[in-house]
Structure 1
Amino acid sequence: MGKSWSQSAWIPNPPITEKNIVDQSGKYRELTMGQVFIVTGGNAGVGLQLAKILYSANARIYLAGRSERRVTEAIEHICCAFPDSKGNLSWLPLDLADLRSIKRAAEQFLNQEKRLDVLWNNAGVMFPSGAIKSQQVSPFGHDIQMSTNVLGPYLLTSLLYQILKQTAETAPLNSVRVCWASSLLSELSPQGGVDMDDSGSPILSNTRYTNYFVSKAANNLIAFEFGKRCKSANVLSVAFNPGNLNTELTRHLMVPYLESVERLLQGLVLWPPRYGAYTELYAGLSPDLTIEQHSGAYIWPWGRIGHLRPDIEDSLRSKIQGGSEKAAKLWAWCDQETVNFT
């Protein structure tokens, strides 16, 4: 209870905001075009707020999303808000639920850019519409929340690993990063975060709620495992809980005839989405984070080093270290499920 409370109320002020973010166009003297960022789901909610702050600091940003119309509208909105920015905004077509789309997105990005400094795996889906005990599936038969929240970001990151590694060869140490979206609701996941069968496949529930909790805990496991594997390449991997936020992510929880009342109540108890962007700014840009000390770390709102449930921490460790090594098993499952799309 204490851990949940400390991530929900009386949170310390954010270390990085739009007021003190470093100018991204001239952060490093050797860069003539500035840093390059990808924000998945950058057209709405926290992703939109993050993109706005980055663009206000003259960053080059790819907003990855499904809808050209919605991303274009977001780009126009951001440009109008910051007409003097020297940054750049581009649409990167991406549907995280469709593994075929992810390879196309990675190829398009690699054809256009020579560097990638930070990848924010921000996008996700929460409690998709339908009955409580209904499961939506991706085009390839995976639970839609596991596909969108876990397999999609895993595949995108894998396909962009070489450019991240290449960027890290010349970028300042600790500056090249991959940030993975977890949630406070990972605290409601099963023992160890993810139940797994003897083959190493996740055991999912017949309820959309439980599967969301599992997908968010899974992102902590993947962030940690990726951190181990990319440490030697000087790429930092962290997970983050953006905070309890009033965004459209909760839209499928609304009861139609009570929607106006529910939105009023959410506005009273949930934080504005820009606070989630502050958490993500810390995860992606804070000089306090280092590969040596924070590989696989979990960032709490609005930019603090946090910790996981003890049994989820146990999932990060190998059996030799006394753990259950579920993180390594989940990584292997993700690799197996996406191998035909690399």
Structure 2
Amino acid sequence: MDSILDQADPFASWWPYIIAVAVGVSMTIRTIMGGQRCPSSNQIERQVVIITGGYTGIGKEMAKALAERSAHVIIAVKDMKKGEVICDIMKRELKCKSNMNATVVPKYLDLRSFDNVRRFAQEITKEYPVVDILINNAGIIFPFKTRNQYTKSVDGYEMHLQVNYLAPQLLTHLLLPNLMKSESGGRIINVSGHAHAAAKMDIDDPLNIGTYCTKFHDRDSFAHSKLAVILATKWLARELKGTTVTVNCFTPGLVRGTEHLRNSPLMSSICVKFMTFPWMWLFMKTPFDGAQCGIYLATEPNLKTISGEYFNDCLITKASELGRDGQLAKKLYKETIKILKIDEIEKDEESE
């Protein structure tokens, strides 16, 4: 055995070189695809942060990171049992990691119901008169095992449109008075996505209410909702000009390990999972990677006066051509507040 080992020459074959190059290239691609880490180390001590959908995926990672930076984090979830479990886990992890008593609490919120959104906002206003950061993170895609299933919410709107766009807009407007009281300047952060680039939107029907009934596809409705997020972000920033509140949006990129993939074709069978997993590992971000831009928008002091922008990998970037259409943004925003009856709610509050 000793003589065999002595005579062995690891450089007699090209395989070690091939394997080393393959591993090196793979790790380089993974690093590039993972995107930029949040460059800000700023603490946001005692700031009140609300994150919708904060018990899984990038929402969970943002909640954990902001709690570690001493924020008071509220995760708004539709499953309170899961929310309580995740909050307890986060607290234990941060206690072990940083020896800190993190504040992470779950609150019930179901974006599928406008009435529930209003009740959530009322509860928050009573308990937290000041809100510093609102992150509209929760969203759906492929929500049903039956593909391309057109389903309405209890309020009568297509489910992607309501959960990804309309309900977050309602929540944002209801909490604006709380955000305006923030001494550090209220921040609204909306999560969009690369899919917006494939979206279509008609200026005569920006909410696609007339289109959904005749031609419906999960991917199209998801893309449309993410384009709507960008347009509404830009127009709301214009409406809030002169106030202390900023509003921006970002794309987390292509992220694996989220509930979005639960009913995706990529998860349709064990064979498909087996074949696609290496490529997903190589080209898709982890939830930790995807959360970095959101953490940056919430913590970077230099963004205090930046509003109405679309970010990718912690940098301001251009949205699609439709995502930069000012007239389309205005029409969409006007239609949105009309549907949500936001003006009526504000008048009632003032009269009281």
- Superposition TM-score tier, normalisation by shorter sequence: 0.7 to 0.9
Residue 150 in 1 paired to residue 165 in 2?
Answer: yes
Q: How far off its partner does 1:339 sit?
A: 1.7
* Contact 2:42 2:301 (C-alpha < 8 Å) held by counterparts: no
Whether contact under 8 Å (1:71, 1:91) holds in the other structure is: yes
Separation (CA, whole Å) in 2 of partners of 1:264 and 1:11: 15
Shift of the 140–263 alpha-carbon distance from structure 1 to 2, 3 Å rule, reads farther
Question: Residues 114-171 of structure 1: CA distance to partner in whole angstroms, max 9, x if unpaired?
Answer: 211110001100122244432122111211000000001000001001111122xxx2
Q: Is the 8 A contact 1:35 1:60 kept in 2?
A: yes
Q: Which of 87, 90, 94 lines up with 1:78 in the alignment? A: 90
* 1:208-258 superposed Cα distances (whole Å, 9 cap, x missing partner): 110000000110011111111112222111010012111221211121343
Contact 1:55 1:85 in 2 (8 A): no
Answer yes or no: is 1:255 the counterpart of 2:262: no
Cα deviation code 1:174-225 (max 9, x no counterpart): x4210111101111112xxx22436x54344411110000000110011111
- Could you say which residue in structure 1 is the equivalent of 2:17? none
Q: How many residues are matched?
A: 303
Counterpart of 2:103? Answer: 88
Partner of 1:133: 148
Q: How far apart are 1:9 and its partner, in Å?
A: 4.5
> After the TM superposition, which residues 278-289 of structure 1 pair with which residues of structure 2 at under 5 Å, given as runs?
278-289=292-303
CA contact (8 A) 2:91 2:101 kept: no
Q: Distance in 1 between matches of 2:161 and 2:75?
A: 22
Query: How far did 1:263 drift?
Result: 4.3
What is the aligned counterpart of 1:61 among 36, 58, 73? 73
Which secondary structure does the structure 1 equivalent of 2:242 belong to? helix
In 2: Cα distance, 1:163 partner to 1:220 partner: 23
Identity, in percent, stands at 23
Q: Which structure 1 residue ranges, 4+ long, deviate > 6 Å from structure 2?
A: none
- Which of 48, 60, 81 matches 1:36? 48
- Cα separation, 2, equivalents of 1:326 and 1:133: 26
1:327 to 326, 329, 332: 329
TM-score by length of 1: 0.83
2:230 is the counterpart of 1:220:
yes
| Residue number among 198, 202, 206 corresponding to 1:195 in the alignment | 202
Root mean square deviation of aligned Cα: 2.1
Tell me, yes or no, if structure 1 residue 105 matches structure 2 residue 120: yes
Match of 1:22 among 42, 56, 67: 42
**In structure 2, do the counterparts of structure 1 residues 12 and 130 end up closer, same or farther at CA, with 3 Å as the change threshold?**
closer
Q: Which structure carries more helix by proportion?
A: 2
The equivalent of 1:165 in structure 2 is 180
Correspondence 1:276 to 2:296: no
Distance 1:267 1:251 in 2: 16
Normalised TM-score (structure 2) = 0.81
**Matched residues in 1 for 2:263 and 2:168: separation?**
22
Whether contact under 8 Å (2:67, 2:102) holds in the other structure is yes
Structure 2: gaps spanning 5 or more residues: 1-30, 346-352
Q: Which amino acid aligns with 1:24?
A: I
Q: Deviations over 1:53-95 (max 9, x none)?
A: 1111221010001011110011011011011324311112101
Distance 2:301 2:43 in 1: 14
Indicate the SS of the match to 1:284: helix
**Aligned counterparts of 1:61 and 1:276: Cα–Cα separation in 2:** 19
Q: What's 1:244 paired with?
A: 254
Conserved 8 A contact 2:77-2:106: yes
In structure 2, what is the Cα distance between the partners aligned to 1:296 and 1:142?
Answer: 26
On the 8 A contact 2:55/2:86 being kept in 1, the answer is yes
Q: Any idea what SS the aligned residue of 1:61 has? A: strand
**Helix, strand or coil for the counterpart of 1:58?**
coil
Give the match's secondary structure for 1:231: coil
Deviations 1:247-287 (A, max 9, x none): 22121112134364244542332111011111101122222
Is the CA contact (8 Å cut-off) linking 2:34 and 2:289 kept in structure 1?
A: no
| CA–CA distance in structure 2, aligned partners of residues 307 and 104 of structure 1 | 36
**In 2, Cα distance between equivalents of 1:106 and 1:164:** 12
**More off after superposition, 263-272 vs 109-118:** 263-272
1:69 is paired with a residue of what secondary structure? Answer: helix
Q: Which amino acid aligns with 2:36?
A: N
Aligned position for 1:320: none
